[in-house]
């Protein structure tokens, strides 16, 4: 399974006075791609609401390397990393049509239990339990066998 990605292009209202993509657009695009990544696995907003949990962004940081301009096609990736704690990470790469990496954006996230208002202890397990296709939540290159080891 490869890295999940979505093709986008900057619209006029996402460009600033310098003629390149506004910094806030990168965060919006990353959110869009993350939600599509989860939707692909069958974890939709209604699933979170029914189970009284929800994803939360704890920290987000972008590193801008090259410009993106209006109308320029960009591939936005979504690559999860899960550890043993209460948080997990999504790495988003913004890659121009010429293959140049324009921006990297990292989001540290958790899954909030709505009844306790605390992060769940094992977010990866919770996401897998909610997913119709839990195998699609795994980092690229992880096999079904490695998921259970």
- Is the pLDDT score of 147 beyond 80? no
| Average pLDDT in the chain | 92
pTM: 0.90
Average pLDDT over residues 34-48: 95
Residue 55: name the closest of 133, 135, 137, 136 by CA: 137
Sign of CA dihedral 70, 72, 73, 75: negative
pLDDT in the model for residue 140: 79
Question: pLDDT of 65-82, one tens digit each?
Answer: 999 999 999 999 999 999
């Amino acid at each position: 399974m490869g890295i999940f990605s979505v093709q986008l292009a900057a619209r006029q209202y996402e460009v600033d006075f310098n003629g390149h993509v506004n910094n806030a657009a990168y965060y919006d695009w990353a959110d869009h791609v993350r939600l599509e990544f989860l939707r692909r696995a069958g974890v939709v907003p209604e699933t979170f609401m029914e189970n009284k949990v929800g994803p939360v962004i704890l920290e987000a940081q972008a590193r801008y390397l090259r410009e993106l301009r209006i109308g320029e096609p960009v591939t936005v990736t979504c690559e999860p990393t899960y550890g043993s704690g209460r948080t997990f990470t999504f790495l988003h790469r913004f890659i121009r049509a010429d293959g140049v990496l324009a921006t990297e954006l990292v989001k540290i996230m958790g899954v909030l239990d709505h009844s306790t208002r605390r992060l769940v202890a094992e977010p990866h397990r919770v996401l897998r339990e909610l997913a119709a296709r839990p195998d699609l939540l795994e980092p690229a290159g992880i096999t079904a066998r490695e998921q259970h080891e």
